[in-house]
Every structure is written in C-alpha cells, then in structure tokens.
Amino acid sequence: MSKVRVLVGTKKGAFVLNADGKRDKWEVNGPFFGGWEMYHVKGSPVDPNRLYASQSTSWFGQLIQRSNDGGKTWEPVENKFVYDGVPGTHQWYDGTPHPWEFKRVWHLEPSLTDAETVYAGVEDAALFRSTDGAKSWHEMSGLRKHGTGPHWTPGAGGMCLHTIILDPKDPKRMFIAISAAGAFRTDDGGETWKAINQGLVSEHIPDPKAEVGHCVHHVAMHGAKPDRLYMQKHWDVMRSDNAGDSWQEVSGNLPTDFGFVIDVHAHEPDTIYVVPIKSDSEHYPPDAKLRVYRSRSAGNEWEALGNGLPQSNCYVNVLRDAMSVDSLDKCGIYFGTTGGQVYMSPDAGDNWSPIVRDLPSVLSVEVQTLA
C-alpha cells in the first residue's frame, strides 16, 4: 500500500508526519532542530529518502541539513552561500541603492532527475545550485544580473526568492518568483532570464504595470501542462497559458483575492486551490472562517470548502509554501497554519481534518507520496 510523508517546517523546528494510503492514522515525528526556524523541507523526486532542509535563526544564521533516510537522521551540509563576483546593489525601501546581503534560504527545490542536484532560493534574492548533494553551492547569477536586478526592492518579508518551479518537459526551462520583484523564466538552463510579469497590475507601485516590482506571493504549475502557470499575487489570483509571457486575472468570485498559497490538484491540471486572506494588513480569513477555495475551471469560478475547518473565531494565516498535494488516486490536499495546525483532505478538498493542532507556527508543508 502507498504511504504518505508530510514534511512540515515551523518557526521552532521540523516535523515529519507519516501515514499509510488511507491517511486516517498519523505518526508525528519531531521536532527536528528544535528552536530553529525551518523555512522549508523537501524531498527528492528521484530518491524520496533524500531530504533537504533549510534551518536558520537570527543568532546563528543559515544551516542546510540533509537526510538520506527519509528524515530519521540528518547531517549538516554546506551553508556557505556567496554571491557571484561583486554583488552590486538593489533598491532599498527608501529608494537608495543597497548592497546585496545573504540572509537565509527560503526554498529548496530538488532536481526532477538527479538526487544530488538541488536549487536554493535565498534572501536577498538570488538562485543557487548544488550538484553534489548540498556539499557546495554556486550562484546562478544570470538571474540577478539579467538587467532589472538593481531595481528590485524588498517586500515586507524581505527580498526573497521563494518559488522555484522546474519544467518536467523541458530541462532547460525554470520559473522563479521574488518578493517584491515578480516572476522570471529561463529557457536555457539559467544562463539568461526574462521578467514574465506582463498582465500583472499592482496598484501599490508607481507604475502598476511595470516590468518588475510586483509582489508575487506564490506560483504553481501542473507537470502535465507546464505552459500553464497559476499565481497568487499580493492581491489578485492570476493565470498564464503561455509560460508566463502574459497573465490574466482569474480571481472571479473569491471573497478576497489577497492570499499567499496556491496549488494544483495532482491529477486535474485545471483544478486549483487558494486560501483567501482578508487583506494585506489583516492576515486572517474573511469572516473568521477558514476556507479553502477550489476552482475546477482554472480560475474565475470558485467554491468554498470548509467542511471540517474552523468556521468561527479563526484568525490564522496560511503562508506561501504551506500547501501541498499528494498523488494518490483520490488526491489529498494539505496545508499548515500560523496557528500550528496541519489540515488534510483525503478527497480533494471536500472534507478536512487536522493531522496535528498545536505545532509551532507553520512555515512550509511538502508532501511525498511513497510507493
């Protein structure tokens, strides 16, 4: 029988949740690295027991941990992230040039074809790659130096590269997103990049349709339709049908189009999920009801899914990397909250129940479906 492993990063440690394919009884393991902020934990699609984890604190900086046994044991690997050449400057909050400074790793994306290769999205925004199982890291500086870099500015959470999407049909194509610069694509394995923000409209910047400066919160793609991208922007839910060359708004009937997460059903490329959040200052669900919204039409028409989720007095948030799906026949949907709950639905969102309720504030959720 298949198994499911859920990798949870929290503000005070990592947790590994295990269940069989029924997904009704869960074993909770952890905390691993208690007291450390675990921004992201993700497994290799090639070798599911190979996990990579980003571990940091304001005291002791950034560490990278690696597991070769599905999270039972871990070893620290290389934590040295040095920008390529002279780092240069980006734009600071007050409009002045500010030197690029490494702060932390937000996202780790293992290669689709090689367990030793993994990508890291960092703050201040840059993309790094390791081809030796995280024993060394090298910046893919074509992104930061492609031309608009000096105009990138940090969002409220810092200038972070938080989303990395690898195209399963084209190994040279990759998408990334940065707050608050926007989305970018390479078609040549990272040598050159282009901003893919046409169609985004952000009222909080001087030119709402600028080439860069958009606060993209998350981007998702289904491997069967890699030219179709879904985006949760600061405000607005967007879709591209041409690999990001242009975007159209698909917020439709959502109660609010602010939010952080967006994800795609494992077997239905047109079925997507968001968690609407009231506003950019009120980071909790509208009407104090925690509801996932599902669209089966690639956006525009949305239905609220709240069965089993708190429907009163709920003031949690769901952060950008805190939703994931499994690939069992009946697709499971998972998300974690800033209140420490990890919820799962075994039926594509129709019904929900908590796996755990009282973890530290959840930063990330990734799901592995194991044979």
**Residues forming the site for other proteins (CB under 8 A):** 35-36, 57-63, 76, 79-80, 82
Q: Are strands 216-222 and 118-123 parallel, antiparallel or unpaired?
A: unpaired
Q: How far is the CB of 61 from other proteins (least distance, A)?
A: 6
Q: Which CB, 64 or 127, lies closer to other proteins?
A: 64
Q: Which CB, 59 or 358, lies closer to other proteins?
A: 59
Task: For residue 229, give the nearest of 298, 150, 180, 295 by alpha carbon.
Answer: 298
Q: How far is the CB of 77 from other proteins (least distance, A)?
A: 9
CA atoms within 13 A on the CB side of 6: 33
Distances (CA, A) of 211 to 205, 230, 310: 11, 18, 40
Measure the CA–CA gap between 303 and 44, rounded to whole angstroms. 33
CA atoms within 13 A on the CB side of 343: 26
180: preceding bond cis by omega (within 30 degrees): yes
Task: For residue 64, give the nearest of 16, 133, 161 by alpha carbon.
Answer: 133
Q: Which CB, 36 or 119, lies closer to other proteins?
A: 36
Kindly give, in sequence order, each residue whose CB lies less than 8 Å from that of residue 45, ignoring residues fewer than 6 positions away. 110, 111, 112
Measure the CA–CA gap between 108 and 105, rounded to whole angstroms. 8
Q: How far is the CB of 85 from other proteins (least distance, A)?
A: 13
SS3 19: strand
Q: How far is the CB of 179 from other proteins (least distance, A)?
A: 20
Q: Which CB, 82 or 156, lies closer to other proteins?
A: 82
Q: How far is the CB of 102 from other proteins (least distance, A)?
A: 9
Measure the CA–CA gap between 262 and 320, rounded to whole angstroms. 8
Q: How far is the CB of 352 from other proteins (least distance, A)?
A: 30
Q: Which CB, 285 or 360, lies closer to other proteins?
A: 360
Measure the CA–CA gap between 360 and 346, rounded to whole angstroms. 24
Q: Which CB, 25 or 80, lies closer to other proteins?
A: 80
Q: Which CB, 272 or 359, lies closer to other proteins?
A: 359
Task: For residue 36, give the nearest of 64, 19, 22, 56 by alpha carbon.
Answer: 56
Q: Which CB, 62 or 148, lies closer to other proteins?
A: 62
Distances (CA, A) of 234 to 84, 103, 156, 306, 320: 30, 22, 11, 23, 11
